[in-house]
Structure 1
Amino acid sequence: MGTTAAQVGWIGTGRMGAAMCRRLLERGQAVAVYNRTRAKAEALAEQGAKVVERPADLAGCGVVFVTVAGDGDLEAVVSGPGGLLAEEGAPRLVVDCSTVSAEESERVRKALAERGSTLLVAPVSGNPKVARAGRLTMAVSGPAWAYEEARPLLDAIGSGSTWVGEGEEARLVKLCHNLFLGVVSQALAEVTVLAERAGVRRADFLGYLNRSVMGSVFSGYKTPQLVHLDFEATFTSTLLRKDFDLGLGAARALEVPMPVAALVHQLVQRLVGEGFADQDFAALLVLQARAAGMTLEPEDREVEDGLGGVVAPPARRDQQASNEA
């Protein structure tokens, strides 16, 4: 992949970071990893990752990937105590795959530049399941030479990357993506509830939709959640709210009206307020059903997941696991 065994570091091995890092390990790339909760990093050691105690321990790497939750986390792992810049030396490239504000990103870019390091912004589109399937996509911005240097690693992690500019452009591209994600999710919830109100089972309606010209990878991999009402988070409602806050803030700064996204923002806020903060944003379906005076029940159906697999209802999966045990 164009890099030597000692050159890659990884900061942040939560659900998404671990799935992405594992893609490199599976391709024989040696990776040193750090996570604030060490146990999550140690899970990758079984595949050959070297676990380190501090982000500073990765400063000698040529390329360091960062996947953290927000602005404060990014600043902490780069400039905080024990961060990448806490001691002498710095990575040649830092590739930040998080979703943070452009202002924080610019601060980190300047701090790295003072130490001779270059920041690439590469927020990802997808969830851990998509990452495991190799279907992640990335918008990337930063110097063109840095993108070309990191591109083999980026393409090994996902299904391809798109360079969109020299500065912070990828941040806005990702926010646009997630605004669209929320809007599409609400629209999908609305038509699914409408079909069920008319007596059509969710599995049948979504199976039809996924085979139509309106189907997508997204509608496919959300289908099991919508059919089974299994909202274990791949992307929490709180994180989607954060991205709407950032995206609509950018829209105000650029004087771009976003009437539909603004409405969905309030629905996502309601989702958080009604107790779904740590559950997947697909729970918008439940709120839509409540608005129609409906109480949904899980459907006992196996459904395709849009990624080449078939997903059974949670109860069946639990029973199968119990039998195998």
Structure 2
Amino acid sequence: MSAVTPVSPASTVVGFVGLGHMGGPMAANLVKAGYRVRGYDLSAASLAAAVAAGVEPAASAAEAAEGADVVITMLPAGRHVLALYRDEGLLAAAQPGTLFVDCSTIDVADARAAHDAAARAGHRALDAPVSGGVTGAEAATLTFMAGGGETEFVRAEPLLSAMGRKAVHCGAAGSGQAAKICNNMILGISMIAVGEAFVLGESLGLSHQALYDVASTASGQCWALTVNCPVPGPVPASPANHDYRPGFAAPLMAKDLGLAANALRAGGVHAELGLRAAELYAEFAEGAGAAEDFSGIIRTIRDRSAQDTETSSDPSAQDTEENGTATA
């Protein structure tokens, strides 16, 4: 395969499919960088918002890909990416040699299948999931984790730089997705740990600010604490100060941890914390956290702690638990 030169705004048309909470701001940042962007989304409202930001509207995903030099997709799941590539004409509509960059977070196997489908259709491909959430998408401070060939990465890097502040070439096809699920497994586990630490501090009479001031400059320092602090006060921009509005929504964390759990099981990796974090976030996302930032899980930790305290201090409840019957 011949060398691929980086794209430039003056000579590049970008097709963008998936203009939701993440894709919309990403496409808008490409427009700001001088790229001509033609976009499509099933949601009329999302498409209208992108058009207001300078994206040219397409009537279909296939139309967005026609004549494009690069096609970027940002979709909910692997099945959507594969259906679009294989069944809905996206690959067939593109001119030969088009670079397809999938920024969705999907299963590693699905990412590799997407690469294979693109190659069979005569195209190039990268999987390039992102970290940074909606705030990062809006501010163009995302981190991209890319999997695929070196030449494809070189070609895509200027686009990724227009939408984020860091892009890492992680390896061959699927490596970007592998890095993403490993990263978010760390994040999910650490947010639970930070939440439990704050609830423990509350029970011991420690103020949120005091714990933050210590841990943020000591060995407990981590992103979940210093950027997305799960309690109001210490980090004014964190979702906790805005009634846990996402941010990074809990259902998205549950999805990513579910992908990590699948990979753990498939790889035979003994990872108790990763699997347990996946269970906790799945439950949280299906209930109280359905519309919350993932840091809101601290409220579940706090509520369950209160329930456990009530149970341990109630002799009748203890007797019920021990004997399986309620006392008179």
TM category (shorter chain) comes to 0.7 to 0.9
Question: How far apart are the structure 2 equivalents of 1:88 and 1:159?
Answer: 28
Aligned residue type for 1:241: A
Q: Which has the larger radius of gyration?
A: 2
| Deviation larger for 114-123 or 199-208 | 199-208
- 1:17 has 2:23 as partner: yes
1:122-143 CA distance string (max 9 Å, x none) = 0101111122233211111111
Aligned to 1:150: 156
Aligned to 1:112: 118
Aligned to 2:287: 274
1:63–1:91 Cα contact (<8 Å) kept: no
* SS at structure 1 position matched to 2:39: strand
Aligned to 1:121: 127
- 1:266 Cα shift? 2.1
Question: How far apart are the structure 2 equivalents of 1:76 and 1:53?
Answer: 18
Question: How far apart are the structure 2 equivalents of 1:10 and 1:208?
Answer: 44
Aligned residue type for 2:285: V
Aligned residue type for 2:291: D
- 1:63 has 2:70 as partner: yes
- 1:238 has 2:251 as partner: yes
- 1:274 Cα shift? 3.2
Question: How far apart are the structure 1 equivalents of 2:180 and 2:240?
Answer: 28
Tell me the TM-score normalized by structure 2. Answer: 0.82
Alignment of 1:219-258 (within 5 A): 219-223=225-229, 224=236, 225=238, 227-228=240-241, 230-258=243-271
| Deviation larger for 232-241 or 118-127 | 232-241
Tell me the TM-score normalized by structure 1. Answer: 0.82
Alignment of 1:1-325 (within 5 A): 2-4=8-10, 6-59=12-65, 60-81=67-88, 83-87=89-93, 89=95, 92-203=98-209, 205-206=211-212, 208-212=214-218, 214-223=220-229, 224=236, 225=238, 227-228=240-241, 230-293=243-306
Unaligned runs of 5+ in 1: 295-325
- 1:90 Cα shift? 5.4
- 1:268 Cα shift? 1.3
Question: How far apart are the structure 1 equivalents of 2:33 and 2:263?
Answer: 38
1:89–1:115 Cα contact (<8 Å) kept: no
2:68–2:95 Cα contact (<8 Å) kept: no
- 1:287 Cα shift? 1.1
1:12–1:35 Cα contact (<8 Å) kept: yes
* SS at structure 2 position matched to 1:176: helix
Percent identical pairs in the alignment equals 26
Aligned to 2:311: none
Question: For the aligned residues, what is the CA RMSD?
Answer: 2.4
Aligned to 1:308: none
Q: How many residues align?
A: 294
| Deviation larger for 88-97 or 173-182 | 88-97
